[in-house]
């Protein structure tokens, strides 16, 4: 029902020229209140249209392809605790990441005690050779 809504006599007055808020504005040309259905959730708009009995002045934004009215999505309320919890999780993540980074790759490299040191000295034919001591 709400998808097939149509305005029988569209007003020529622009929405921005009407006085009011984002949901309802007053049209001085028609002398009626104009309700913006696109600022409402679908079920609220349907309830309003049903209760009006067809005597309602509305405005809505159409979907570019389907030409059906677009409605506001349901808003999600964030509780007071959410920012605090998010900050705690972020702080813990940064702390753990910095501790992990400080530890390096975790591999120990040791030099064997019986390893011989190599010394370079020029050979008789002026080429460099490696010889152990």
Mean of the pLDDT values across residues 114-128?
A: 58
| pLDDT, average across residues 89-115 | 69
Residue 123 lies in a domain: no
Q: Is residue 101 part of a domain?
A: no
pLDDT of the residue at 55: 81
Q: How many domains does the chain have?
A: 1
CA distance 86 to 33: 43
* Token pair belonging to 60: 């809505």
Per-residue pLDDT at 1: 60
Question: How many angstroms separate the Cα of 57 from the Cα of each of 22, 39, 78?
Answer: 15, 14, 34
Structure tokens at 53: 């009995």
Structure pTM? 0.49
Tell me the backbone φ, ψ of residue 76, rounded to 5 degrees.
-100, 125
**Which residue segment(s) compose the domain that 61 sits in?**
39-75
- pLDDT confidence tier of residue 75, bands split at 50, 70 and 90: very low
Question: HSE of 103 in the Cβ direction (CA atoms, 13 Å)?
Answer: 9
Q: Is 25 helix (H, G, I), strand (E, B) or coil?
A: strand
Classify residue 57: in a domain, yes or no.
yes
Which is more confidently placed, 110 or 85?
85
pLDDT tens readout for residues 18-57: 999 989 999 998 888 998 988 888 888 888 888 888 788 8
User: What pLDDT is stored for residue 53 in this prediction?
Assistant: 80
């Amino acid at each position: 029902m709400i998808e097939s809504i149509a305005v029988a006599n569209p007003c020529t007055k622009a929405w921005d020229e009407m006085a009011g808020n984002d949901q309802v504005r007053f049209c001085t040309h028609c002398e009626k209140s104009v309700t913006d259905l696109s600022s409402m959730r679908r079920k609220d708009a349907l309830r309003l249209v049903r209760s009006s009995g067809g005597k309602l002045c509305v405005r809505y934004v159409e979907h570019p392809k389907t030409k059906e009215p677009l409605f506001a999505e349901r808003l999600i309320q964030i509780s007071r605790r959410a920012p605090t919890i998010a900050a705690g999780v972020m702080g813990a993540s940064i702390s753990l990441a910095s501790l992990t980074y400080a530890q390096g790759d975790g591999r120990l490299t040791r030099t064997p005690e019986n390893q011989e040191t190599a010394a370079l000295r020029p050979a008789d034919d002026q080429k460099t050779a490696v010889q152990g001591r």
